[in-house]
Amino acid sequence: MQNKSIKQYLEYLHLSGIQDVFIKPKPKINKSELLKTLEEKYNNCSACALHKGRNKFCYGNGNADAKLLIIGEAPGADEDRKGEVFVGRSGQLLTKMLQAINLSRDEVYITNIVKCRPPENRNPNPDEKRSCLPYLEEQISIIQPELILMLGKVAAETLLGVQQTLTVFRQKTHIYKGLKTFVSYHPSALLRNPNWKKFAWIDLQNLQKEYRKN
Ligand code: SF4
């Protein structure tokens, strides 16, 4: 019912002698429980070929009420073993990167484009990404973050739908699903090329400014 109609209806009730109207509040969704239920539901997904080599499905970890959602590419060997995202060396670096801008892992939610490990850590192929994307879209609609940070070119190209170098992606903020979105280096790229850390630090500071604004 539109606001105007509601007002007219309330006036009608008032004229009819009804003084008190009780409106049942919308039940508040427990996002954390909902994500847990969905994780269990999708745990045995076989929608793409990646399920064949998977040890554990890696749905995502962190705060279901997070203001910042971080999206990487795919689980690696450590993640596949534990069933959690960003727990290996890349994950440790990501934790440090967040700490550098006064954020803890408990404050953010972290996930990947695909939830199962590609063999030999190759990039997920278009079919795998397409099959897995509905899970990420659902996570975004549940968490409703205010900001997104995409880690690496694969995540940015897949979600923003354009092919560019990471340098070009990093030059501006983007809008993804109506949300302000930053792009920076994947921590595994920073482990391979420590010289890029100074550029990642610039990205993190930009993200921090926006995070504190909101
Ligand atoms: S990568 Fe995604 S779509 Fe493919 S099997 Fe795993 S959960 Fe399912």
pLDDT for the residue numbered 8: 75
CA dist list (Å): 117 to 95, 113, 131? 21, 11, 14
Position 43 in a domain: yes
Query: Ligand 1: which atom is nearest the Cα of residue 42?
Result: 7
In angstroms, the CA 160 to CA 113 distance is 12
Please state the domain count of the chain.
Answer: 1
Q: 73: helix, coil or strand?
A: coil
- Residue 147 DSSP SS3: strand
Looking at the domain assignment, is residue 108 inside a domain? Answer: yes
Pocket of ligand 1 (CB under 6 A): 45-48, 50-51, 57, 114-116, 128, 131-132
Rounded to a whole number of angstroms, the CA Rg of the chain reads 21
Residue 131 within a domain? yes
Domain encompassing residue 52: 29-213
Burial string for 180-205 (b: 16+ CB within 10 Å, else e) reads: bbbbbbbbbbbbeeeeeeebbeebbe
Per-residue pLDDT tens digits for 186-212: 999 999 999 999 999 999 999 999 999
24 falls within a domain: no
Tokens coding 60 = 């995502």
pTM above 0.85, yes or no: yes
Instruction: Assess whether pLDDT exceeds 70 at residue 22.
Output: no
* Angle between helix 197-213 and helix 89-100 axes, rounded to 10 deg: 50
Expressed in angstroms and rounded, the spacing between residue 160 Cα and the centre of ligand 1 is 20
* Distance from residue 214's CA to the centre of ligand 1 (Å): 33
Which CATH number does the domain housing residue 72 bear? 3.40.470.10
Task: Compute CA 3 distance to the chain's CA centroid, rounded to the nearest angstrom.
Answer: 34
Query: pLDDT tens digits for 31-49?
Result: 999 999 999 999 999 999 9
Identify whether 3 is part of a domain. no
Q: For residue range 148-167, list pLDDT tens digits in order.
A: 999 999 999 999 999 999 99
Report yes or no on 130 lying in a domain.
yes
pLDDT digit string (tens) for 60-119? 999 999 999 999 999 999 999 999 999 999 999 999 999 999 999 999 999 999 999 999
What DSSP assignment string belongs to 149-214?
EEESHHHHHHHH-----HHHHHTS-EEETTEEEEEE--HHHHHH-GGGHHHHHHHHHHHHHHHHH-
Quote the pLDDT of residue 24: 63
DSSP state of 113: S
Domain assignment present for residue 63? The answer is: yes
Residue of 46, 132, 139 to mutate, ligand 1, most atoms within 8 A of C-beta? 132
Note whether residue 15 is domain-resident.
no
